[in-house]
Structure 1
Amino acid sequence: MSKISKDALNTINKKTGKNITEGSVRKLASTVKPSTMQNEAELRKLIKQVSTMAKIPVSESTVSEIVSAVKKTGMNPSNMEAMMKMMMKK
């Protein structure tokens, strides 16, 4: 997994008021396989796990938008930072 930028973690922590560590993101990312990004059910599960970790509620419509965007862009499964940034925009 690529290194999570301090800026991304700081932004997430500031917005959520929680302390999400790089280690917790890495732990979650270690469960992600390349097939996760192609399997809609697994991708939805991952998005909900990220949402729970960040304590940011994500509506079903937002989950659907993220799933669609990931499938269209072929997002790299090791880039959790990009997924977290996408969720922060909602």
Structure 2
Amino acid sequence: MISQYYIKQKQNIQIHVFKTNINSDTDVKTIGTVLNSNPYIKNWSVDLEDIDKVLRIEARKQLHENDIVKHLNTKGFYCATLE
């Protein structure tokens, strides 16, 4: 049986997918300090092998895509919602 707590927590999570210009492990470490310090972000990853350098973020629903884009843009990275 699945815990009600687990079900409630899973319903509160949203997945965001972005196209970026993150090109290296150094870039990943740089954004890592930003993303890891955000309490709404539960998990994230970057696919450096993909042509779009896809950033995937699992976050609480309180965190909006525009907030993520603006924050990464201020750090000098291109970031746009991947549709």
Q: TM-score normalized by structure 1?
A: 0.32
Asked which structure has the greater CA Rg, the reply is: 2
Structure 1 or 2: more helix by fraction: 1
